[in-house]
Amino acid sequence: MTTATPTVGAGVQPPAPLTRAARVRKRLNSRTATLVSIVLALLWTIPTFGLFISSFRPEDQIKTTGWWTFFSDPQFTLQNYQDVLFSTGSSGQLASYFINSLAITIPSVLFPIAFASLAAYALAWINFRGRDWLYIGIFALQIVPLQMALVPLLRFFSTGVTVGGVQLLPAWDLVDEQKFAQVWFAHTCFALPFAVYLLHNFISQLPGDLMEAARVDGATHPKIFRTIVLPLITPALAAIGIFQFLWVWNDLLVALIFAGGGDETAPLTVRLAELAGTRGNEWQRLTAGAFVSIVVPLLVFLSLQRYFVRGLLAGSVKG
């Protein structure tokens, strides 16, 4: 007696294999990945939590005991924040430096995003001679250390550009708040290679049929970029914006070199470096000042976090 082997009936399709993106997503949603993520989050959060607790502790407590002793002997004070934000002495006036950091950071984020999105679209969807070599050159610029460009940039700002005894560009000769422009220029130059690379990977994967249909309808490149590409690359723009905001907000070297250390242009990081005092003994002010500097980047990240992972993984997987 023979038994019939089951066969797939007509019209019944076998289950489609998982794509690479689906396999990666499945692994990241496993229990092990979740547990590892929770452990890493706790380890990453503990120092920030300790900084937060220390910022409300009195000076004598901070200098004699660790922050964890707060749970056995809780003591609160707002004097640290009062000193760093509104005090007129050498340890205060952090509020004015806070405004300087915003004046430096916001344009330093918007400029590279705008220029990089335009460049990435051109490199992805406009055919011209040398396009691939130009993209490779931009990609290679990511390996150039920032410190190597500081002296040439500073010379460019102070003396201009001279070729064969002919001055092509004059010196900038900026003073006081005008020096913000030098910081914007420097941060834009340093951010463009990575921003162009990430956006190019995202834009190049947009459906070609969509672009072709827009061209058939008579849309020009500016209209395609404005009405089709920009709405679709919002996750990538948000990811770049977060990276650039955190980098510029926490930067000390570039702002100190190109904006100077004066009260009119110095960012928050310059003031934080001074809060510890000449002997490094003003810990209570440093904890409060450091936590004030964390607030704005934290708000930016939380407000854009839903775009962050999608933008960070743009172009890394297909399917």
Answer yes or no: CATH 2.40.30.10 is held by domain 90-315: no
pLDDT digits (tens, 9 = 90+) for 189-214: 899 999 999 899 888 888 888 888 88
Q: Taking the alpha carbons of 221, 223, 225, 229 in that order, is the dihedral positive or negative?
A: negative
Burial class from Cβ neighbours inside 10 Å (0-12, 13-18, 19+) for residue 275 reads buried
Give Cβ neighbours of residue 114 (< 8 Å, ≥ 6 apart): none
Q: 10-residue block means of pLDDT along the chain (319 residues)?
A: 52 62 69 87 88 86 84 84 72 74 92 93 89 89 84 83 77 79 90 90 86 86 88 86 90 85 80 68 77 83 72 48
Task: Locate the domains of the chain by residue range.
Answer: 21-76, 90-315
